[in-house]
Amino acid sequence: MDNRNTNVNELEAAKQLEIINELKVSFEQEYEKTGKRKTYHIETFGCQMNSRDSEKISGILKQIGYVETDTENADFVLYNTCTVRENANNRVYGRLGYLGKLKKSHPGMLIALCGCMMQEAQTVEKIKTSYRFVDIIFGTHNIFKLAELLQTRLDSKRMVIDLWKNTDMIVESLPNDRKYSFKAGVNIMFGCNNFCSYCIVPYVRGRERSREAQDILDEIKGLATDGVVEIMLLGQNVNSYGKNLETPMSFAQLLIEIEKIEGIERIRFMTSHPKDLSDDLIDVMKNSKKICKHLHLPVQSGSSRLLKLMNRRYTKESYLELVEKIKAAVPDISLTTDIIVGFPGETEEDFLETMDVVKKVGYDSAFTFIYSKRTGTPAATMEDQVEEPVAMERFDRLLKEVQLSSAKSAGKDEHTVLKVLVEEVNSQDPNLLTGRLSNNLLVHFPGESELIGKIVEVYLAESKGFYYMGKLI
Ligand code: SF4
């Protein structure tokens, strides 16, 4: 990113902070008059990128003077939407109807929509005509402008729509409100240039742009000072990190720099595309003391013919070779994946190739999906769309195979002592704490809540399949 861009971003951040302070003053005056603070509620749909964006939105709203509430009966309600599959859209339309009724009984209530679904032109047209009670619509590229859009809505009393097709802006140093005090998601890049033929993300999240390495390192040092011990590096494809920077830096090099930061004890990252997971990265994972023993490596299909139609740019053979290399370098690695069944043109032979990959890799778990047509993607107009009953029947068989594979690896650490990051008091049993192993599996064990946020040693007494029962050492 060149100096000109950096200046533009800094100017934009200063402008937004000024608007936040202006709104803060007017909210404070209103509070002095009414004695009531305005409330807000955010509903986040979809992936970790959206959860991270919602933390930024929450930070801006709190800075303005709103207080968070867990009910939608609030003065400001925002849906941060997802559009990766059709049903994600339908859920939002369903909930919007309820919000419209709520607004009738809550004059002055503001409703805002942002996120991936809003980047689709046909969606915005539908909201403008059928959900006129919505006040603010923005997308994935201009989250940082929320205060300005709110101010415009309050001044104009009209629906505000601000959608960008794309951007090269990365506006840093705006308020953000982290959900956890001990672990944090850190964006390292935005957008995706891969254009997998079934995926809507490149059309709604734009072109790849990486954050400056120094901004990422400074943010993580700040987090470590605040007591964060685990970070999750976020990007649609983290392997492509650094390509657009004036001084390119590879993801492997970035990890080496992050490893040096004191206070950070665990490093996770998501998502790695199999097409460009480098030997350097495998080496860094092998020699690292902090990178967690879990890698999410979406395969999507085991059929090289389908992988070509999906524009995934690897084959069944190269994927299996990569897995062997990773397992050789990090023997106790936990591998998880994403798999689509019912992709257009998928034959029984193609599907059996997918089942074969599941058997050969031995995933600890997998997110399995039935192909969902996304308007605007090449796959949506492909011939030989698979009949739903056929896709459902394959989905059931795949699920069984994945469960078989998980069951095989489940319990492999039973009767050993491993490090656990304590995350919360168990939701079912208040005498138990819940934490996560480096390989991302859950452990429940008796302990005091003061341990939340700490990394402790736990004896894994008993495997329960997808989690362990343990004893604090
Ligand atoms: S890598 Fe492919 S599946 Fe992942 S976000 Fe990019 S286009 Fe979508």
Percent of the chain with pLDDT over 70: 99
Asked if 341 and 398 count as a contact pair (C-beta separation under 8 A), the reply is yes
222 alpha carbon to ligand 1 midpoint, in Å?
30
374 alpha carbon to ligand 1 midpoint, in Å?
13
Q: List 295's β-bridge partners, or say none.
A: 335
- pLDDT band, very low/low/confident/very high, at 85 (cuts 50, 70, 90): confident
Asked if 114 and 57 count as a contact pair (C-beta separation under 8 A), the reply is yes
Alpha carbon nearest to ligand 1 atom 1, residue: 194
- pLDDT band, very low/low/confident/very high, at 343 (cuts 50, 70, 90): very high
Ligand 1 atom showing the smallest separation from residue 300 Cα: 3
Q: Supply angle C-alpha 168, 173, 176, rounded to 5.
A: 110
Structure tokens at 1: 């990113």
Structure tokens at 85: 């599959």
The pTM is what?
0.94
Alpha carbon nearest to ligand 1 atom 2, residue: 196
Ligand 1 atom showing the smallest separation from residue 192 Cα: 6
In terms of Cα–Cα distance, which of 60, 64, 61, 95 is closest to 81?
A: 95
Residues with C-beta less than 6 Å from any ligand 1 atom: 192, 194-196, 199, 201-202, 236-237, 273
| For range 216-230, the mean pLDDT | 97
Torsion angle (degrees, nearest 10) of CA 313, 316, 320, 323: 40
For the stretch 13-40, what's the b/e string if a residue is b when 16 or more beta carbons lie within 10 angstroms of its beta carbon? eeebbebbeebeeeeeeeeeeeeeebbb
Whether 3 has a pLDDT exceeding 70, the answer reads no
Whether 409 has a pLDDT exceeding 90, the answer reads no
* Residue 171 confidence (pLDDT): 86
In terms of Cα–Cα distance, which of 268, 173, 155, 162 is closest to 212?
A: 173
| For range 200-209, the mean pLDDT | 94
| For range 277-294, the mean pLDDT | 98
* Residue 188 confidence (pLDDT): 97
- What values do phi and psi take at 296, rounded to 5? -95, 115
237 alpha carbon to ligand 1 midpoint, in Å?
7
Whether 1 has a pLDDT exceeding 60, the answer reads no
- What values do phi and psi take at 433, rounded to 5? -105, 155
* Residue 2 confidence (pLDDT): 59
199 alpha carbon to ligand 1 midpoint, in Å?
6
* Residue 86 confidence (pLDDT): 78
Alpha carbon nearest to ligand 1 atom 4, residue: 236
| For range 364-388, the mean pLDDT | 93
Q: Ligand 1 pocket check: which of 48, 195, 201, 234 to mutate, most ligand atoms within 8 Å of Cβ?
A: 201
Ligand 1 atom showing the smallest separation from residue 199 Cα: 8
Structure tokens at 25: 């003053």
* Residue 103 confidence (pLDDT): 95
32-41, 82-91, 428-437: segment of lowest average pLDDT = 82-91
For the stretch 45-80, what's the b/e string if a residue is b when 16 or more beta carbons lie within 10 angstroms of its beta carbon? bbbebbbbbbbbbbbbbebbbbeebeebebbbbbbb
- pLDDT band, very low/low/confident/very high, at 233 (cuts 50, 70, 90): very high
Q: Ligand 1 pocket check: which of 196, 209, 272, 296 to mutate, most ligand atoms within 8 Å of Cβ?
A: 196
68 alpha carbon to ligand 1 midpoint, in Å?
33
Q: List 186's β-bridge partners, or say none.
A: 233
DSSP code of residue 145? G
| For range 117-127, the mean pLDDT | 94
Whether 156 has a pLDDT exceeding 90, the answer reads yes
Structure tokens at 194: 């891969």
Q: Ligand 1 pocket check: which of 193, 236, 275 to mutate, most ligand atoms within 8 Å of Cβ?
A: 236
Asked if 201 and 237 count as a contact pair (C-beta separation under 8 A), the reply is no
Q: Ligand 1 pocket check: which of 189, 195, 199 to mutate, most ligand atoms within 8 Å of Cβ?
A: 199
Alpha carbon nearest to ligand 1 atom 8, residue: 199
239 alpha carbon to ligand 1 midpoint, in Å?
12
* Residue 129 confidence (pLDDT): 94
Q: At what angle do helices 48-64 and 146-156 cross, to 10 degrees?
A: 50
* Residue 4 confidence (pLDDT): 63
Asked if 419 and 465 count as a contact pair (C-beta separation under 8 A), the reply is no
- pLDDT band, very low/low/confident/very high, at 88 (cuts 50, 70, 90): confident
195 alpha carbon to ligand 1 midpoint, in Å?
6
2 alpha carbon to ligand 1 midpoint, in Å?
26
Per-state percent for the chain, helix, strand, coil, to nearest 5: 40, 20, 35
Asked if 205 and 192 count as a contact pair (C-beta separation under 8 A), the reply is yes
382 alpha carbon to ligand 1 midpoint, in Å?
18
Q: What is the mean pLDDT of the chain?
A: 95
Distance CA 303, CA 315 (A): 8
